[in-house]
Structure 1
Amino acid sequence: MSTTPLTRALRGPSPAPKSAPIDAFRMAKSWFLAGRRVDMQQLAAELGVSRATLYRWCGSREQLLGEVIWSLNERALNETRARSRGTGRALMTRVLEKSLASIRSFEALQKFVAEDAEYALRIITSKQSVVQARLIEWTSDFLRAEIELRDDIDVTDFAYVIVRVCESFVWSDMITGAPPATDKAVKIVDLLIAAAEK
């Protein structure tokens, strides 16, 4: 996954108040939340820059949307984790249960997926996805903090499996036509963690 000026600005030290890549991100995020299509040409015009500059900052429309969607997911995940009680497997499954349900009920994301499911799922769930990569990283950190895994299990690989299970059930209506079943995802993840714990 290529690194863009926007990615560096989002992940590095706090940006200056008027950092142009951050301005593009903030505007795209506000459009996304309002249900407005994030069109790169319109975004560049609003920012007063060329499309070439905007693409240099953000990499692509897909990467920009990925950053926007991940920022919303990350905030929801962290807030849910902070509000949830317990430790270990119980905490992890509780956070997943609440988070997965909220993802499916999030209006802006629902609208985005409904407009073009294939395109949306590519941004959210593909291996090139900013969203999936960050979610695997977030899950890995959660596992390291809360779960003592067996020595023969790689944390990142295990996090990948958890993320894929969750994606499969959260977006099952778009993938297989079956109704979303976030409760099934939580049960399967709980079983996987129980089997993987020391």
Structure 2
Amino acid sequence: MTAPAEDLVRRAARKLVRGERLDLGTLAVEAGISRATLFRRVGNREDLLGDALWLMSERTLAKAVRRWETTEGPVVRDAEGRLRCLTVMGWYRADVAASTGLRVLLDNEPTTAIRVLTDPHGRVQPRVIAAYRELLARDVADGGFTPVVDLDSLSFALVRLGESFLYSDVVAAGRPNLEAAAKLLGVLVEGTPAAVR
């Protein structure tokens, strides 16, 4: 068995979704390769964890985009005036917050999970920022809104503030408040609180 890096990342993501601890030795055995080969293909545990968490995030974000396209079509705002990018981001955060596998990881390995999820040079946060920037750019191009700051700064702020609320139980001993996050992010994007749905 050759077990390319993409397959190893998918295997790792499946384990995380199921709430299983990511053990490189076990994963190597299941893939039919040595630990050294696994390391050469995907890096250390945190590298693989980051790639697996990004894969999960990417799929979750794509699901939110498909949901908008299915319910609203190609429009930038829904019938109530809610902006596509903010709604998609809100659905994404809600799905992330509801992820049992991610919750298990945060409960069992809070320091590692937060480090991997929020590292500005890691494998998750920069990709989420880029994905948010793409959502924002699409809405700007389609005439949805005019940002008051550049899209790089805006997407960075949206992700960092969203993380603060999404992982508040781990980083600040508070409860995640996605409604408050949506309102604050709406102010950042449009100058007014976003309606939550």
TM tier relative to shorter chain: 0.7 to 0.9
Cα distance in 2 for residues equivalent to 1:52 and 1:115: 26
Please show how residues 133-144 of structure 1 align to structure 2 within 5 Å: 133-144=126-137
CA displacement at 1:156 relative to structure 2 = 1.5
Instruction: Figure out how many residues of one structure are paired with residues of the other and give that number.
Output: 178
CA displacement at 1:51 relative to structure 2 = 1.8
Q: Partner residue of 1:182?
A: 178
Please show how residues 1-198 of structure 1 align to structure 2 within 5 Å: 20-84=4-68, 85=72, 86-87=75-76, 90-147=83-140, 148-150=145-147, 153-195=149-191
| Letter of the 1:183 counterpart | E
Cα distance in 1 for residues equivalent to 2:3 and 2:134: 29
Query: What are the ranges of 5 or more consecutive residues in structure 2 without an aligned counterpart?
Result: 193-197
Kept in 1: contact 2:3–2:31 (CA 8 A): no
Hey, which bits of structure 1, 4+ residues long, moved more than 6 A?
none
Deviation digits for residues 166-195 of structure 1 (CA, Å, limit 9, x no counterpart): 000011111111111111111111111114
CA displacement at 1:19 relative to structure 2 = 5.2
Cα distance in 1 for residues equivalent to 2:187 and 2:10: 39
Deviation digits for residues 18-68 of structure 1 (CA, Å, limit 9, x no counterpart): 652223122212222222211112212222322222111112211211111
CA displacement at 1:165 relative to structure 2 = 0.6
CA displacement at 1:131 relative to structure 2 = 1.2
Query: What are the ranges of 5 or more consecutive residues in structure 1 without an aligned counterpart?
Result: 1-17
Q: Give the secondary structure class of the aligned counterpart of 1:79.
A: helix
Q: Is the deviation greater in 121-130 or in 158-167?
A: 121-130
TM-score by structure 1 length? Answer: 0.82
Q: What value does the CA root-mean-square deviation take over the aligned residues?
A: 2.0
